[in-house]
Chains A and B, each alone.
Chain A
Amino acid sequence: MRHDIVIIGGGPAGLAAAVSAYENGIEDILILERDERLGGILNQCIHNGFGLHTFKEELTGPEYAARYIDKALNYGIPYKLGAMVTEVTKDRKVTYVREGEGVVTIEAGTVILAMGCRERPRGALGLPGFRQAGVYTAGTAQRLMNIEGYKIGKEVVILGSGDIGLIMARRMTLEGAKVKVVAELMPYSGGLKRNIVQCLNDFDIPLKLSHTVTCVHGKDRVTGVTISEVGPDRRPIPGTEEYYDCDTLLLSCGLLPENELSKTAGVELDRVTGGAVVSDDLETSVPGIFSCGNVLHVHDLVDYVSQEAERAGLKAVGYVRALANEALNEHAEVVADTDGESGVEASGRIRIKGEGGVRYTVPQFLNYESMDEKVTVRFRVGDVYKDRSLVLYYDGEEKKRMKKRVMAPGEMENVVITKAGLNGKVKEIVIRVEE
């Protein structure tokens, strides 16, 4: 079995990539989704705030997903639910396991990785205490409440001020639970400002910055947590312990791209994002394998996921077309065979680096020859910056300086690079936060 484009993941990224690929002329697409429905995590994000950029209106998660699902269904794009991909190889063979089918291996002209991300669990945080019931990651709690319809707790403490945690603070309050406090290890919130206003401030839920959970009490079920203030080294300060009675602790402490499959294919990963290293066309170090959405880097807005995935779909179409051309086909094989010299590190590429407060950039490379006239480079900063400038350097020379009123780690920033401005000579682009 063979398909031009195999998309792993039927969430917002996979759907947008599929729709875009179809609209750009490739119909032989297959979406492999491990869950029992398309739409991914959007299905459980029943709050509003999605789609202002894409649809110019404010939608809920299921509505936003439905827009793309309807398109994919109208186009008749094939998809399989309950299909768990177990391996992707360098030469683009995709193996999945599915009830009713068994183990199936398909060949793909291109693969688009769109597996999304997972939540950092309690264990990875090393929270001291017993291993009792009542500790949930915010997303698990969200699923149990919004999809399955269960109450998970009556008195709640939330650790971490990521967006899902903030949204769940409001959700649980509306469902009759008492959310006592949100503790955040960092001196700033990891979530969107609007969510702090409408999810915490609206309901008088205190947000304690520079605080963390230092003990989870209760042997069978959570009976309370101790919260302590942390110093500049993020270690708890003895003597600042405060005890909160609660039956539930929600964790919203970061999202991690799910790149286990990317690793089986030998895709080079970025140590900061945890996602693939990609060029401007969203191609990874393995030719013909593209990556987009939260598996590439964790986004703040689904609108940006869709935009990125649409580009991945478009570029995958370009790859499929080029592959049909015998000459490039051979070229691709050659690149694939050179071990160590990965696709994105091939010569003629422009390296983009984040420095001085810019934690990473996506893409990490530009391919001057083939790049679009304008390329949006997205990134996050490592701290809260007020009244600073974003400065763009081309080969060490200042190219552009942009004033920013506020930049925060919870929100993605971007700069647009134009091909015209690069002159075909630039080797390295650096983005920095400066005074």
Chain B
Amino acid sequence: MTEELTCIRCPIGCALTVTIDGDNVTVTGNSCPRGAEYGAKEVTDPTRIVTSSVRVINGAQPLVSVKTASDIPKDKIFAVMEEIHKCKASAPISIGDVIITDVAHTGVDIVATRMVTAV
């Protein structure tokens, strides 16, 4: 079985051809090892980084932007968003501060991607 994919690991967007032959997955069309890794992963266990923002209490800004500290399974995106929507963070916040631990049982934390000072 072969699948045609566009690599999303970087903005170049290589056109990948992924061939699955039993346990054997081969990727062609990539221009770097990250592409090979993406191609194999996308057909077996697709993951994404999720970015959003969380409302801030006592902050100089109303929101803090956040992301999953690493990839989470693609089918967990909306479960992650649901937790993000329910969450409120308290200022002060620094980049990298953990806002939610183990979001939606993914084992991944939600971390702040900007600084928000307290008022």
When the two chains form their complex, are residues B11 and A52 in contact, meaning their CB atoms are under 8 A apart?
yes
Known: A46-B65, A194-B9. 7 other contacts (CB 8 A): A48-B49, A59-B113, A63-B95, A63-B114, A194-B8, A202-B77, A411-B13
When the two chains form their complex, are residues A49 and B11 in contact, meaning their CB atoms are under 8 A apart?
yes
B interface residue numbers (CB < 8 A to A): 5-13, 15, 48-53, 55, 61-63, 65-67, 74, 77-78, 81, 95, 113-115
Among A148, A198, A411, point to the contact of B48 (Cβ < 8 A). Answer: A198
Give the size of the chain A interface in residues (CB under 8 angstroms): 32
When the two chains form their complex, are residues B95 and A300 in contact, meaning their CB atoms are under 8 A apart?
no
Among B11, B15, B113, point to the contact of A192 (Cβ < 8 A). Answer: B11
A408 vs B66: C-alpha distance in the bound complex, in angstroms? Answer: 32
Q: Which residues of B contact A175 (CB under 8 A)?
A: 52, 81
When the two chains form their complex, are residues A202 and B48 in contact, meaning their CB atoms are under 8 A apart?
yes
Q: A48-B51, A405-B15, A406-B15 are in contact. Are A146 and B63 (CB under 8 A)?
A: yes
Of chain B, the residue at the smallest CB distance from A43 is: B114
Among B13, B65, B77, point to the contact of A194 (Cβ < 8 A). Answer: B13
Among A43, A49, A59, A149, point to the contact of B62 (Cβ < 8 A). Answer: A149
A317 vs B48: C-alpha distance in the bound complex, in angstroms? Answer: 42
Is A147 interfacial (CB 8 A cutoff)? yes
When the two chains form their complex, are residues A66 and B95 in contact, meaning their CB atoms are under 8 A apart?
yes
CB-defined A-B contacts under 8 Å, sample of 28: A46-B65, A46-B67, A46-B113, A48-B49, A48-B51, A52-B11, A62-B65, A62-B114, A63-B113, A146-B53, A148-B62, A148-B63, A149-B55, A149-B62, A171-B52, A174-B77, A193-B13, A194-B7, A194-B8, A194-B9, A194-B10, A194-B11, A197-B6, A197-B8, A198-B48, A301-B11, A411-B11, A411-B13
When the two chains form their complex, are residues A147 and B61 in contact, meaning their CB atoms are under 8 A apart?
yes
132-178 of chain A: CB within 8 A of chain B: 146-149, 171, 174-175
A22 vs B66: C-alpha distance in the bound complex, in angstroms? Answer: 31
A411 vs B11: C-alpha distance in the bound complex, in angstroms? Answer: 9
Q: Which residues of A contact B63 (CB under 8 A)?
A: 146-149
237-273 of chain A: CB within 8 A of chain B: none
Is A47 interfacial (CB 8 A cutoff)? yes
Of chain A, the residue at the smallest CB distance from B8 is: A194
Q: Which residues of A contact B50 (CB under 8 A)?
A: 174
95-149 of chain A: CB within 8 A of chain B: 146-149
Among A49, A147, A174, A406, point to the contact of B52 (Cβ < 8 A). Answer: A174
Is A333 interfacial (CB 8 A cutoff)? no
A406 vs B6: C-alpha distance in the bound complex, in angstroms? Answer: 12
Among B9, B12, B52, point to the contact of A46 (Cβ < 8 A). Answer: B52
Q: Which residues of B contact A300 (CB under 8 A)?
A: 11
When the two chains form their complex, are residues B74 and A202 in contact, meaning their CB atoms are under 8 A apart?
yes
When the two chains form their complex, are residues B53 and A46 in contact, meaning their CB atoms are under 8 A apart?
yes
Q: A149-B63, A202-B74 are in contact. Are A196 and B6 (CB under 8 A)?
A: yes
Q: Which residues of A contact B95 (CB under 8 A)?
A: 62-63, 66
Q: Which residues of B contact A226 (CB under 8 A)?
A: none
Q: Which of B5, B55, B95 has the most CB of A within 10 A?
A: B95
Closest 6 CB pairs of A and B: A193-B13, A62-B114, A46-B65, A194-B8, A60-B113, A194-B13
Is A58 interfacial (CB 8 A cutoff)? yes
Q: Which residues of B contact A66 (CB under 8 A)?
A: 95, 114-115
Of chain B, the residue at the smallest CB distance from A66 is: B95
Among A60, A148, A174, A202, point to the contact of B67 (Cβ < 8 A). Answer: A60
A47 vs B62: C-alpha distance in the bound complex, in angstroms? Answer: 18
Distance to closest chain A CB from B12 (angstroms) = 8
A370 vs B10: C-alpha distance in the bound complex, in angstroms? Answer: 34
Of chain A, the residue at the smallest CB distance from B49 is: A48
Q: Which residues of B contact A411 (CB under 8 A)?
A: 11-13
A196 vs B13: C-alpha distance in the bound complex, in angstroms? Answer: 10
Among B5, B49, B52, B66, point to the contact of A58 (Cβ < 8 A). Answer: B49
A300 vs B74: C-alpha distance in the bound complex, in angstroms? Answer: 26
Distance to closest chain A CB from B89 (angstroms) = 12
Distance to closest chain A CB from B4 (angstroms) = 11
Q: Which residues of B contact A149 (CB under 8 A)?
A: 53, 55, 62-63
31-61 of chain A: CB within 8 A of chain B: 43, 46-49, 52, 58-61
Q: Which residues of A contact B78 (CB under 8 A)?
A: 174
Of chain A, the residue at the smallest CB distance from B42 is: A197
Q: Which residues of B contact A198 (CB under 8 A)?
A: 8, 48
Q: Which residues of B contact A171 (CB under 8 A)?
A: 52
Q: Which residues of B contact A61 (CB under 8 A)?
A: 65
A214 vs B81: C-alpha distance in the bound complex, in angstroms? Answer: 34
Q: Which residues of A contact B66 (CB under 8 A)?
A: 46
Q: Which residues of B contact A174 (CB under 8 A)?
A: 50, 52, 77-78, 81
A283 vs B23: C-alpha distance in the bound complex, in angstroms? Answer: 56
Of chain A, the residue at the smallest CB distance from B52 is: A174
Of chain A, the residue at the smallest CB distance from B13 is: A193
When the two chains form their complex, are residues A194 and B114 in contact, meaning their CB atoms are under 8 A apart?
no
When the two chains form their complex, are residues B6 and A193 in contact, meaning their CB atoms are under 8 A apart?
yes
A147 vs B55: C-alpha distance in the bound complex, in angstroms? Answer: 10
